[in-house]
Amino acid sequence: EVQLVESGGDLSQPGGSLRLSCAASGFKFFTYAMHWVRQAPGQGLEWVAYISSSSNAIYYSDSVKGRFAISRDDANNSLSLEMNSLRADDTAVYFCVRWGRKEASFDSWGQGTLVTVST
């Protein structure tokens, strides 16, 4: 069974930093591209970042480019999101999401971790 478990969500002041982690199990992690997707309270889904299976392709949304960094550790089956210069509008639940190779879609989601940016 595919499992994605996020951690690291917390309360941060504006301008602060946080590091989110996602522990993957139940599949060959190193063969899959991965994403982070977020959802602000009461709002819709927003794609945040993508990393290919070999880490040779990385993309970010315009709203986080230059502030966030996605990375992966295939030896430990983990995905990370380093978040810097946090702003109030980064407040959201952050989901770790697998990119389905056959489905070319977001085929498996974690339960999410809440990041709150506030004074």
Q: Which amino acid is at 12?
A: S
Pick 29 or 50: Cβ nearer another protein = 50
Question: CA 6 to CA 116: how far, in whole Å?
Answer: 15
Pick 44 or 75: Cβ nearer another protein = 44
Sites of contact with another protein (CB under 8 A)? 35, 37, 44-47, 50, 59-62, 95, 100, 103-112
- Least separation, in Å, of the C-beta of 105 and another protein? 4
Question: CA 80 to CA 99: how far, in whole Å?
Answer: 15
Count CA within 13 A, CB hemisphere, residue 16.
16
Pick 23 or 45: Cβ nearer another protein = 45
